[in-house]
């Protein structure tokens, strides 16, 4: 019989609760004892670890956020902090730790793995910047929130003959901006991965105005060199050439909230179940993700040392369609 603990770390993502549920129930179905850790690595250090049963994860599938909580923990960045975390796990008799989170969280997983504690990561971040998984938990929901905002902005933009800059989250990854821009028919998309001259964007807006369009939409990734604020300032200085007046909207953390989509619930359930299967095989020090339609594992060392690139075919499609 194994004792398995699960925690959520980093930014919350819609579908985290579905992953917790899958881990706990799939583990219990094997006769294992399942435990939750409150408030991420901070709870690990303080020993906030408690046993979970099937009913503890009842009714959480459709809930956003994470019932286990998440918190930043500077102490965990130190060797002493990580040693405290391992002592807490061993005091409860935990055999395996499962970490649901993104890049920073899986860097923590890797550090524990290097200290010979069995760890399995589960890919979860709305940024979709985690190497080892085509999609991560929370991406689909965040993308649909961005798309809904874009569709709503078009209505206002058309009513007032304006151009809107919509800034979406994603840190240094332009996935959300690229996909929402394609799906929402944006006139231009600005990504961190591709350097953009603001003059080129200005010309696209002017062309849209000259072609008689009632509105123009530019989707901007927050990590781009010119974010929405920077582009707005540039456009205001050259507004006589745009035709449109320009407004900026930053979605921010609203993209993390709300109920997870069906796709995120299913993905989270599959990845949670996949993590239990990896534990059953004794496969530790890995991230559980999805490639194509297959649940796969990738060594944490490779995950934290690799960068996930943008899909160039999708980028070319966006350029053809704008």
Is 95 annotated in the active site? no
Q: What is the CA radius of gyration of the chain?
A: 22
The tokens for 217 are: 């939409």
Other C-beta atoms within 10 Å of 307: how many? Answer: 10
Please report where in the chains the tokens 């069995």 appear, as a residue.
Answer: 118
SS3 call for 69 = coil
Which phi and psi angles does 101 have, rounded to 5°? Answer: 175, -175
Residue 253 burial (C-beta neighbours within 10 Å; 0-12, 13-18, 19+): exposed
Other C-beta atoms within 10 Å of 195: how many? Answer: 10
Given 12, 127, 129, 140, the catalytic residue:
127
Strand 49-52 to 33-37 pairing: antiparallel
Catalytic residues, by residue number, are 127
């Amino acid at each position: 019989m194994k004792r398995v603990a699960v925690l959520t770390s980093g930014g919350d993502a819609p579908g985290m609760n579905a992953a917790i549920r899958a881990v706990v129930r799939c583990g219990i179905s094997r006769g294992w004892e399942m435990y939750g850790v409150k408030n991420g690595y901070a709870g690990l250090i303080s020993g906030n670890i408690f046993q979970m049963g099937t009913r503890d994860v009842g009714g959480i599938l459709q809930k956003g956020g994470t019932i286990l909580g998440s918190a930043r923990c500077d102490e965990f960045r130190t060797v002493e902090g990580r040693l405290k975390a391992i002592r807490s796990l061993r005091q409860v008799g935990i055999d395996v730790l499962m970490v649901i989170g993104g890049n920073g969280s899986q860097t923590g997983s890797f550090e524990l793995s290097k200290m010979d504690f069995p760890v399995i990561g589960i890919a979860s971040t709305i940024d979709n910047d985690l190497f080892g998984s085509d999609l991560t938990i929370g991406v689909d929901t965040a993308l649909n929130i961005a798309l809904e905002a874009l569709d709503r902005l078009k209505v206002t933009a058309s009513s007032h003959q304006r151009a809107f800059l919509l800034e979406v989250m994603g840190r240094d990854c332009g996935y959300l901006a690229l996909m929402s821009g394609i799906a929402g028919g944006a006139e231009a998309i600005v990504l961190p991965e591709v350097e953009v001259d603001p003059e080129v964007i200005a010309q696209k807006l002017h062309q849209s105005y000259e072609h008689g369009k009632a509105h123009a939409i530019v989707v901007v990734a927050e990590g781009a060199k010119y974010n929405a604020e920077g582009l707005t300032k540039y456009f205001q200085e050259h507004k006589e050439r745009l035709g449109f007046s320009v407004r900026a909207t930053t979605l921010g953390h609203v993209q993390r909230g709300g109920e997870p989509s069906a796709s995120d619930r299913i993905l989270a359930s599959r990845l949670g179940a996949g993590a239990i299967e990896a534990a059953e095989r004794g496969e530790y020090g890995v991230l559980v993700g999805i490639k194509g339609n297959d649940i796969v594992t990738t060594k944490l060392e490779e995950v934290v040392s690799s960068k996930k690139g943008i899909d160039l075919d999708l980028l070319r499609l966006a350029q053809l369609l704008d």
